[in-house]
Structure 1
Amino acid sequence: MALIREKRLRQLHLSLPVPPRAAGQRPNPTFTPAPAPTGVKALTPTALSSQFRLADFDKLAVLGRGNGGTVYKVRHRETCALYALKVQHYGNPAAAAEADILSRTASPFVVRCHSVLPAAASGDVAMLLELVDGGSLDSIRSRLQGTFPEEALAEVATQALSGLAYLHARRIVHLDIKPANLLVSTAGEVKLADFGIAKVLSRAGEQCNSYLGTTAYLSPERFDPEAHGGHYDPHAADVWSFGVTILELLMGRYPLLPAGQQPSWAALMCAVCFGEAPVLSDGAASPELQDFVAACLHKDYRKRASVAELLAHPFLARRDVSVSKCALRKLVADVSSESRRC
């Protein structure tokens, strides 16, 4: 489904009721906050390697195209190692910002950037990224005959939230969480990708006023920051986008509009800012999963769960870890195998 990406949204003045809250008062979640999982060995961020040249690689396939850039599957001629090469055209400033952010990160839940390869003749900038062989969750959803099973969704959610916890702890906000920007390997590893509009906050508690983003995944307060004092909490905005993403994987389609409706800007604005959450049919999701999604999609950002609270939610905290990991690996393997047969 084609989604609209606005560089700047028109200023709207939406009358969204926001109940007052006493100073210092926090919403009372129905679950206890907990830190992100610590079972994976920490990596140390390092300067991006300069040992590679564009001439060292053969392009094998186009993995994706987006605003101002293309991602290729490439092979290093000497070692035969496979990578993803993201080429930002015509000196797109987002490339430098993305490379800077990725140079600050070293997490198993964030796609790794090995090198930045300038192409002086064309003005293009290329980032040499790790190749995540299962593709994006959006591509898997589009090829899947059905919806994501809850066990696989729990694993996706845990790893994606672990990536967000890592970023938020370093004052980095993604601002464009969606299925197309979550990659998964055939080993069942989920990684956050595409940091083209991500932002490094200068201080804890800093708010944002950026209108950039994929319209369908913008939170209500991002549609009209002026209605919220001209700024919004970017951490809560990431949680909303994550919640829409999980609901989309569960339903097998974009969830905030009726099936088949074109995602125009006006339709999305009405759905996000005024619409009710979709009603799931009986048996479509467990009560734990429904409560988990609801915790992400409070229209009042102050009532939205934090990343730490979501990681402690019963839908994730009480899952059978081995079963959920196995379910995700099987899902990716089945879809990949079906794709090869086709």
Structure 2
Amino acid sequence: MATLLPRRGGQGIQKGQLVPRHASSHFVEAHYRLVRELGRGSFGRVGLVRDRATGDKRVSKTIDTAGMHPYVLDLMRKEIAVLRRLDHPHIVKLYGFAEDVGRQQIVLLLEYLPGGDCLSLLKRSGGVLDEAVVARLCHQVFLSLSYCHAQGVLHRDVKPENMMLSGPVAAAGDLGWAPRGPPDCKLIDFGLAS
């Protein structure tokens, strides 16, 4: 694990110690309000939630573990452990999680990235993107992969749908970026199961 404080020597605080593990998945319902469902799959669902106290938006990812093969469940636990320890501006942030044995689910509370994924961006643009946009996004992905490798982590599922954007990207031919400047690209789903 990467030491946060102090940088050299001493015990320090590990980033993983700063990401709370909750005893129950009820922590999401207690502290967050569901804004809308973002997706649903064979293993669970993803929702946009808003913190009741601060108004901050997060993503709640609920994974049903009932009937899940123990090997797959172990891989999910490993991916959570990886996310807990990684701290990089181009890797999605994990804010909290719970493995709720009673409800047979794992819940992750993640950073909300409203720009969607790079695959959707490619589809919307007809596969044509400004060279500067592509260079910036690729550079950010390479930075995050370099960081992962330095931490002994191999992202085994790098693909456009696992590259999320912090905001909208200007269409090809537009002279400027979206209102708040160019978006950041962040990696998600490390593919430890593959």
Which band: TM-score by shorter chain?
A: 0.7 to 0.9
Q: In the TM superposition, what whole-angstrom CA distance separates every residue of 1:262-289 from its partner, at most 9, and x where no partner exists?
A: xxxxxxxxxxxxxxxxxxxxxxxxxxxx
* Partner of residue 139, structure 2: 158
Cα displacement (A) at 1:172: 0.5
Q: SS at the partner of 2:15?
A: coil
Change (3 A) 1:146 1:177: closer
Cα displacement (A) at 1:144: 2.4
Which of 138, 141, 144 is the equivalent residue of 2:119?
138
Shift >6 Å, 4+ stretches: none
* Partner of residue 39, structure 2: 64
Cα displacement (A) at 1:82: 0.6
Cα displacement (A) at 1:183: 0.5
In 2, distance between residues paired with 1:67 and 1:155?
A: 34
Cα displacement (A) at 1:79: 1.9
Q: In the TM superposition, what whole-angstrom CA distance separates every residue of 1:237-259 from its partner, at most 9, and x where no partner exists?
A: xxxxxxxxxxxxxxxxxxxxxxx
CA contact (8 A) 2:156 2:191 kept: no
Cα displacement (A) at 1:50: 4.2
In 1, distance between residues paired with 2:109 and 2:27?
A: 10
By percentage of residues, which structure has more helix? 1
Cα displacement (A) at 1:196: 4.2
By percentage of residues, which structure has more strand? 2
* Partner of residue 217, structure 1: none
Matched, 1:192 2:187: yes
* Partner of residue 125, structure 1: 106
CA contact (8 A) 1:97 1:196 kept: no
Structure 1, unaligned stretches of length 5 or more?
1-43, 199-211, 213-342
CA contact (8 A) 1:54 1:117 kept: no
CA contact (8 A) 1:88 1:95 kept: no
In 2, distance between residues paired with 1:127 and 1:184?
A: 19
In 1, distance between residues paired with 2:191 and 2:60?
A: 15
- TM-score for both structures, normalised by structure 1: 0.42
Count of residues paired in the alignment: 156
Matched, 1:46 2:16: yes
- TM-score for both structures, normalised by structure 2: 0.72
Question: How is 1:263-274 mapped onto 2 (pairs within 5 angstroms)?
Answer: none
Question: How is 1:68-217 mapped onto 2 (pairs within 5 angstroms)?
Answer: 68-90=43-65, 93=73, 94-186=75-167, 187-197=182-192, 212=194
In 2, distance between residues paired with 1:66 and 1:150?
A: 34
In 2, distance between residues paired with 1:184 and 1:53?
A: 27
In 1, distance between residues paired with 2:41 and 2:163?
A: 15
In 2, distance between residues paired with 1:147 and 1:121?
A: 48
Cα displacement (A) at 1:102: 0.4
* Partner of residue 16, structure 1: none
Question: How is 1:8-27 mapped onto 2 (pairs within 5 angstroms)?
Answer: none
Identity rate, percent: 28
* Partner of residue 259, structure 1: none
Q: SS at the partner of 2:161?
A: helix
Could you tell me which amino acid in structure 2 is paired with residue 193 of structure 1?
Answer: I
Could you tell me which amino acid in structure 2 is paired with residue 46 of structure 1?
Answer: G
Q: In the TM superposition, what whole-angstrom CA distance separates every residue of 1:34-64 from its partner, at most 9, and x where no partner exists?
A: xxxxxxxxxx723222478122222222223
* Partner of residue 26, structure 1: none
